[in-house]
């Protein structure tokens, strides 16, 4: 305490030299300002740093272009406009939006300098690429949590909504896909080239983000283009909303927008020319109206996320992406509640984002899997209590971490388990000074050490001496504090076990079973309302076809050699309602509880099945 006071006293009075408040980038100089944390630590703040040319006029819907050089000293003491958004979904509307928004903001410790460079955290904001901004965080918290602790925090903007995801359906020729992710990468290149001017060490670069920003941290982490262009050392991934979208969604929305703007035309080029002439506010108003009318698009926010497309994301599937781990360490986690909001119910939220979790394992029958899962859950056949959106978050955390661990780097996984506030964004109140709530004594303590974990990881590579990295038992750090019961953060095994078991272990088998069954010509029709197969055609040993009208729940495909050969070809599958009840009913997924259909039609435990039974795959 005494030492702290003395340090504070020492620092008060010693202001930074005026010269330190002007950063000299290769594009021009920028005037920042000085601020201090509660204990008097001096920090420097630079706002509205242009990292690309304003994407306006002819540059609307174009890839980001290098910023022009400027003469004199640019004023970096105020935020620039936020990127275009006006969503009904966000609880934090922006005061000032404009298409001219590609700026970044820097918060850096007073002692970081070109001679003494500090680790850099690049923070990507959330908001599903539709809202929130690089300018809406709480400066006091950013100074307290990051800059005064010896790092350089950079918050870059990227285009949102129609400015970032618009398409005329030409596969990216007239309007490149993933403009907003290109903005983000462009920002990283600027940081790589200019960080030293602000006191940042480009060779110690951590990408961090929450929600959609967490997904950006993963996506840029795994993008081959990013790997070629900007070396990154660490990723911090908080509650990631990771998804690749169907291009159809953005095409549908864009087409509707074109129609409302009066620009529909048979030639794409003419259509685009017409759209280029519309003002930003006019298009934003159309987007807003469409959002108000179209709740089917999800939670209200309109334009979808990222397309799985080169050059940023030249993958065929998530499994392919996750086999090519970047050489980085990762700290990733989720809150225990995430999207399990009590006011929503599973009927409403199922599939609301088209977030079929089967996509994470590259399943072909994602909709069927989702329905099956939903059926099992709502009918009480498994104990899973999390909604699909929450599970999508756990899966993204898990897959990114596991991939990086298997690539030989370290993965630090956490679950924010504080019972009092543990929903999506609640932990940001400890880190970014937003989504605030009144903290109880236990939560006040969390506010003290939680940010340290992120800082420690950034600065030293390890969040805490007590926190061990992920292993084959999916070890994670369970973060909660309750002084009464003496509950403190501790290591536990099996991060989100039920979700991982179902989607990563059972779902791929069921998916193959559905595919093979269909390929064999079985008349499988998925009954969405019942969540099972309708009118399943089973063949008996004599080749007789029996139509069953019961809804069947798939179990596990078995292939036994003593089936008549035509049966082998025409599929062997499946299982009945009765089996289904056992099956998959057990969320612990111990293999001996899995049942399959034996040749005589009775279920047999999987451990009695000959080994070759599964070799079909």
Inter-residue contact 530 to 551 (CB < 8 Å): yes
Query: How far apart, in whole angstroms, are the C-alpha atoms of residue 547 and residue 47?
Result: 69
Told to check if 539 binds ligand NAG by CB under 6 A, we report: no
CA distance 376 to 382: 6
**Residues 123/213, Cβ–Cβ less than 8 Å:** yes
Q: State yes or no: residue 34 binds ligand NAG (CB under 6 A).
A: no
Cα–Cα distance, 369 to 373 (Å, whole number): 6
CA-closest candidate to residue 154, choices 45, 1, 39, 263 = 45
- By CB under 6 A, is residue 530 in contact with ligand NAG? yes
Q: How many residues bind ligand NAG (CB under 6 A)?
A: 37
* Smaller CB separation from ligand NAG, 144 or 417: 144
Over the range 607-617, which residues count as b (16 or more CB within 10 Å of their CB) and which as e?
eebeeebbeee
For the CB of residue 284, give the shortest distance to ligand NAG in the complex, in Å: 5
Pattern 215-254, binding to ligand NAG, x per CB under 6 A? ----------------------------------------
Instruction: Give whichever of 37 and 254 is closer to ligand NAG, judged by the CB atom.
Output: 37
- The binder of ligand NAG chosen from 348, 408, 566, 600 (CB under 6 A): 348
| Interacting residues with ligand NAG between 436 and 465 (CB under 6 A) | 436, 449, 452-453, 456, 464-465
Per CB under 6 A, which region of 17-25, 110-118, 245-253, 376-384 contacts ligand NAG? 376-384
Residues in the chain, overall count:
617
Measured torsion, CA atoms of residues 218, 219, 223, 229, in degrees rounded to the nearest 10: -80
What whole-number distance in Å separates Cα of residue 264 and Cα of residue 261? 8
Q: Is 590 in the site for ligand NAG (CB under 6 A)?
A: no
Contact present, 508 and 361 (Cβ < 8 Å): yes
Which one of residues 585, 589, 593, 603 is an interface residue with ligand NAG (CB under 6 A)?
Answer: 585
CA gyration radius, the chain: 27
Residue among 188 and 332 whose Cβ is closer to ligand NAG = 332
Binding segment (CB under 6 A) for ligand NAG, from list 28-36, 417-425, 509-517, 583-591 = 583-591
Are 387 and 349 in contact by the 8 Å Cβ rule? The answer is yes
The nearest distance, CB 344 to ligand NAG, in angstroms, is: 8
Residue 451's nearest CA partner among 37, 4, 32, 46 is 37
CB of 345 to ligand NAG, least distance (A): 4
Sheet holding 234-238, edge to edge: 33-36, 42-50, 103-109, 152-156, 118-124, 200-210, 234-238, 329-335, 411-416, 476-479, 490-492
Per rule CB under 6 A, is residue 418 in the interface with ligand NAG? no
184 versus 236: smaller Cβ distance to ligand NAG: 236
Name the residue nearer to ligand NAG (CB basis): 268 or 593. Answer: 593
Nearest in space to 407 (alpha carbons), one of 322, 512, 305: 322
For ligand NAG, the binding residues in 382-411 under the rule CB under 6 A are 382-383
Pairing of β 73-75 and β 118-124: unpaired
For ligand NAG, the closer CB: 334 or 375: 375
Collapsed DSSP state (helix, strand, coil) of residue 562: coil
Task: Give whichever of 219 and 584 is closer to ligand NAG, judged by the CB atom.
Answer: 584
In the complex, least distance from residue 155 CB atom to ligand NAG, rounded to whole angstroms: 15
Pair 410, 418: CB distance under 8 Å: no
Residue 432: name the closest of 144, 216, 235, 137 by CA: 137
Tokens of 110: 């007073």
Which residue, 66 or 292, is less far from ligand NAG as judged by CB? 292
Question: In whole angstroms, what is the distance from residue 182 CA to residue 9 CA?
Answer: 45
Q: How far is the CB of 123 from ligand NAG (least distance, A)?
A: 15
Q: How far is the CB of 104 from ligand NAG (least distance, A)?
A: 21
* Nearest CA among 434, 444, 448 for reference residue 138: 434
Interface residue with ligand NAG among 531, 539, 556, 583 (CB under 6 A) is 531
Q: From the list 549, 562, 600, 607, which residue makes contact with ligand NAG (rule: CB under 6 A)?
A: 549
The stretch near ligand NAG (CB under 6 A) out of 104-112, 310-318, 525-533, 557-565 is 525-533
* 3-class SS of residue 404: helix
User: Does position 72 bind ligand NAG by CB under 6 A?
Assistant: no
| Residue 574 in contact with ligand NAG, rule: CB under 6 A | no
Q: Does 138 bind ligand NAG (CB under 6 A)?
A: yes
| The one among 347, 485, 565, 615 contacting ligand NAG by CB under 6 A | 347
Tokens coding 287: 């987007």
Task: Tell me whether residue 42 or residue 182 sits nearer to ligand NAG (CB atom).
Answer: 42
Residue 275 as a binder of ligand NAG (CB under 6 A): the answer is no
Residue 558 touching ligand NAG (CB under 6 A) = no
Using CB under 6 A, list all residues that contact ligand NAG: 86, 97, 138, 140-141, 144, 284, 288, 345, 347-348, 375, 378-379, 381-383, 433, 436, 449, 452-453, 456, 464-465, 530-532, 547, 549, 551, 553, 577, 580, 585-587
């Amino acid at each position: 305490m005494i030492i702290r006071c003395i340090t504070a006293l020492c620092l008060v009075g010693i202001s930074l030299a005026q010269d330190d408040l002007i950063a000299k980038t290769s594009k021009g100089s920028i005037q920042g300002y000085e601020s201090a944390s509660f204990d008097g630590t001096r920090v420097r703040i630079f706002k509205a740093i242009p990292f690309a040319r304003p994407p306006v006029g002819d540059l609307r819907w174009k890839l980001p272009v290098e910023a022009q050089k400027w003469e004199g000293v640019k004023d970096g003491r105020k935020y620039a406009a936020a990127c275009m958004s006006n969503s009904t979904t966000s609880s934090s509307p922006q005061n000032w939006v404009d298409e001219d928004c590609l700026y970044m903001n820097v918060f850096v410790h007073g002692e970081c300098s070109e001679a003494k460079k500090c680790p850099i955290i690049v923070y990507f904001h959330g908001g599903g690429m539709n809202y929130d901004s690089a300018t809406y965080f709480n400066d006091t918290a950013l100074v307290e949590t990051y800059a005064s602790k010896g790092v350089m925090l950079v918050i870059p903007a990227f285009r949102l909504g129609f400015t970032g995801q618009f398409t005329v359906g030409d596969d990216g020729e007239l309007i490149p896909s993933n403009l907003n992710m290109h903005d983000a990468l462009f920002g990283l290149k600027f940081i790589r080239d200019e960080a030293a001017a602000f006191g940042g060490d480009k060779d110690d670069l951590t990408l961090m983000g929450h929600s959609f920003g967490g997904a950006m941290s993963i996506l840029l982490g795994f993008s081959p283009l990013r790997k070629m262009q900007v070396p990154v050392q660490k990723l911090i991934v908080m509650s990631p909303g990771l998804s690749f979208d169907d291009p159809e969604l953005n095409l549908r929305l864009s087409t509707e927008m074109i129609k409302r703007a009066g620009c529909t035309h048979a030639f794409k080029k003419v259509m685009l020319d017409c759209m280029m002439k519309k003002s930003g506010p006019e298009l934003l108003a159309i987007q807003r109206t469409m959002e108000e009318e179209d709740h089917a698009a999800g939670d209200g926010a309109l334009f979808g996320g990222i397309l799985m497309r080169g050059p940023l994301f030249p993958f065929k599937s998530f499994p392919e992406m996750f086999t090519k781990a970047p050489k980085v360490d990762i700290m990733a986690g989720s809150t225990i509640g995430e999207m399990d909001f009590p006011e929503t119910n599973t009927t409403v939220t199922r599939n609301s984002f088209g977030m079929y979790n089967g996509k994470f394992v590259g399943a072909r029958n994602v909709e069927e899997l989702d329905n099956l899962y939903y059926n099992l859950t709502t009918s009480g056949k498994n104990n899973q209590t999390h909604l699909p959106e929450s599970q999508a978050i756990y899966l993204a955390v898990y897959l990114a971490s596991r991939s990086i661990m298997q690539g030989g780097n370290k993965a630090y996984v956490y679950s924010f388990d504080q019972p009092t506030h543990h929903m999506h964004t609640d932990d940001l109140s400890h880190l970014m000074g937003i989504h605030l709530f009144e903290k109880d004594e236990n939560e006040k303590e969390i506010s003290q050490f939680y940010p340290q974990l992120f800082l420690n990881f950034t600065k030293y590579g390890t969040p805490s001496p007590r926190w061990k990295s992920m292993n084959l038992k999916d070890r994670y750090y369970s973060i909660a504090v309750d002084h009464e019961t003496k509950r403190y953060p501790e290591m536990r095994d099996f991060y989100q076990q039920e979700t991982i078991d179902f989607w990563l272990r059972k779902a791929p088998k069921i998916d193959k079973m559905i595919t093979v069954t269909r390929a064999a010509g079985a008349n499988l029709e998925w009954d969405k309302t019942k969540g099972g197969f309708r009118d399943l055609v089973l063949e008996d040993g004599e080749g007789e076809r029996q139509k069953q009208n019961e809804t069947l729940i798939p179990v596990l495909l078995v292939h036994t050699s003593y089936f008549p050969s035509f049966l082998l070809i025409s599929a062997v599958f499946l299982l009945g309602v009765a089996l289904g009840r056992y099956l998959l009913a057990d969320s612990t997924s111990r293999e001996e509880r899995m049942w399959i259909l034996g040749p005589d039609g009775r279920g047999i435990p999987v451990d009695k099945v000959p080994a070759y039974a599964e070799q079909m795959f």
